[in-house]
Chains A and B, each alone.
Chain A
Amino acid sequence: MDYSFIKLTVGLIATIGLYSILYRENKFYRLTEHIFVGLAAGWSLVALWTVTLKDMWWSKMMGAEASETSGVVAGYWPYVFLLPIGLMGYFVFNRKHSWMSRIPIGIILGLVVGQEAGAWLKRDLPQIEAAMKPIVPNTEVGFFVPTDPVAGALYPSQMLGNIIFLTTMLTVLSYFLFSFDFKTKFMQKSTLTGRWLLMIGFGAIFGNTVMTRFTLLIDRMYFVWIEWLIQGVFKMG
């Protein structure tokens, strides 16, 4: 038995083990699950140094000698301060000093939430601009968009699309106003319409995702039937 077949078989057993949960929780699943979690934790320990700490911390602190691809990189000693800051997290189980774990947490949180304002500008603002769709059609150009449309023109059929776009966006936004007690019929209708239109949106996501998820299942079936059974066991293909 060659190595690649052993590797395939191990993968097959693991796959069946995890799939067995579809029938019910059982010892085979439990075994696979514990191996899975264990291997993942082991790998995290490996990646901790080889991926994160060595490149993002150690090499920057200690510098690097000249290599084929780069010159000498100086080491910057202030990076070492991150170690005691990180270690303060370990006080979390000490009743008296557990507050100290909030210092690294506060720093991580500060670094993350400080980026939020900038992120809003980059993420949401362009979308606000994209939502500002015109709704006055250029009537002289026909109703539907022809195969060779006039540049910059808005066709009445597109106008209808834009009106639906804006209605959806504004009613959904009105649904997410929490602090107003809407007494008027119009606003109550608006929030309800918003919720229903939102369900269309969620439905579309559902539909779009189903196909990609089945692609994954087909991939797995390919692994079991073609790679393992036909190419591995029967040595065909």
Chain B
Amino acid sequence: MQWKDTGWIQMVFLLGMIFMILLNIKRAKGTKELYIRRIAGLNAIDEAIGRSTEMGKPVLMVPGIGDLNAISIQALNIFAYVTRTAARFANPIRICIANPAVYTVAQEIISDVYQKEGLGDRYDPDSVRFVSDRQFAFAAGVSGIIHREQTAATFFLGEFFAESLIFAETANSIGAIQVASSTETTQTPFFIAACDYVLIGDEFYAASAYLSREPVLVGSLVGQDWCKIAVIGLIIGGFITNSIEQPKMLKDEESGKMRYLKREERLIYRIFHPEVDQEKEAK
């Protein structure tokens, strides 16, 4: 019985993180007024919808091109908020989707938003569209929609790859106001260069807590911060340990000369690679 690849310290750390998240979710239930710092891109959502209402043009949303996972669900959660605001102003929406499972969820979530607002008759199922599940066919299709419908506000939130810049520049060329975020860090710089507001990194995940102030989400956000502090602590502890060991020398068994420690002889390495110990024991 063993945690061969990971070792029990890592398991405990992971479980500790999950515990901190769940603990804070529980803690937050019933409490209000938990602090969340300002996230610039999110204040722009209402502004963007307001402008498209003035212009009478649709709001375009794309939840990335990834599979159905936590990322696309998070994107759709934010889009539910956008849709609610747009629905109140009778603003048309377009959600373009690249995965059939995400399409199914989007239909369910968006129609639900309209029902809850008592605006069921305003909901057009064709406003949530499956365009293509092929990356660049999807890019071509969405570019066409942006041009032809002259969308006034665009939201690109989710898992975007190379096509990110095609969307952002196309929407920019027709003067749309853009809020964007990609969980793929390789695409974030292009969104920064081309879009009005960009949610960087896990600002994307913080968005739903920020917008809804739902205790579960805010609590989870606090828990995530605890986890980040734990990671910071771990890194600080690790570099101090490694620094202390750095000047250490020992006698080389083969040559008999003094030498510095090899990577696998350091404490931190042995903690993170427990299988090394097992090999030694086996010998």
Contact = CB atoms under 8 A, between A and B. Distances in A.
Contacts of A104: 101, 104
Given A108-B68, A166-B235, A178-B206, A152 B259 contact: yes
B145 to A, nearest CB: 10
Contacts of A211: none
B141 A129 contact: no
B144 A93 contact: no
Interface in A110-166: 112-113, 116-117, 120-121, 125-126, 128-129, 131-138, 150-154, 162, 166
Given A40-B134, A121-B6, A132-B242, A33 B188 contact: no
Given A132-B238, A134-B239, A109 B137 contact: no
Interface stretch (A1-9, A57-65, A200-208, A222-230): A200-208
Interface stretch (B55-63, B85-93, B244-252): B244-252
B192 A202 contact: yes
Contacts of B272: 125-126, 129
Interface in B115-143: 125, 131-134, 136-138, 140-141, 143
A133 B242 CA distance: 7
Interface stretch (B46-54, B260-268, B275-283): B260-268
Interface stretch (A67-75, A76-84, A168-176): A168-176
A108 B196 CA distance: 34
Interface residues of B, number: 79
Given A40-B132, A132-B242, A92 B261 contact: no
B133 A179 contact: no
B121 to A, nearest CB: 12
A203 B231 contact: no
Given A117-B18, A138-B260, A206-B193, A180 B228 contact: no
Contact of B201 (A36, A98, A176): A176
A54 interface: no
From A33, A44, A151, residue with most partner B Cβ within 10 Å: A33
A222 to B, nearest CB: 19
Interface of A is mostly: helix
A65 to B, nearest CB: 32
Nearest to A152: B260
A202 B235 contact: no
A192 interface: no
B212 interface: no
Contact of A21 (B70, B143, B225): B143
B10 interface: yes
Given A129-B238, A134-B246, A98 B137 contact: no
A98 B111 contact: yes
B232 interface: yes
Contacts of A186: none
Interface of A: 18, 21, 25, 29-30, 32-33, 36-37, 39-41, 43-44, 89, 92-93, 98, 101-102, 104-105, 108-109, 112-113, 116-117, 120-121, 125-126, 128-129, 131-138, 150-154, 162, 166, 169-170, 173-174, 176-181, 198-199, 202-203, 205-206, 209
Interface of B: 6, 10, 13-14, 18, 34-37, 39, 67-70, 73, 101, 104-105, 107-108, 111, 125, 131-134, 136-138, 140-141, 143-144, 147-148, 170, 185-186, 188-190, 192-193, 200-203, 206, 209-210, 218, 221-222, 224-225, 228-229, 231-232, 234-236, 238-239, 241-247, 259-263, 268-269, 272
29 contacts: A21-B147, A29-B144, A36-B136, A37-B137, A40-B134, A40-B137, A43-B134, A44-B133, A44-B134, A92-B108, A98-B108, A101-B108, A104-B101, A104-B104, A108-B68, A109-B68, A109-B73, A113-B69, A125-B13, A125-B14, A138-B246, A138-B247, A176-B201, A176-B228, A179-B34, A180-B225, A199-B192, A205-B185, A209-B190
- A-B pairs with lowest CB-CB distance, top 5: A132-B238, A152-B260, A40-B137, A25-B147, A40-B134
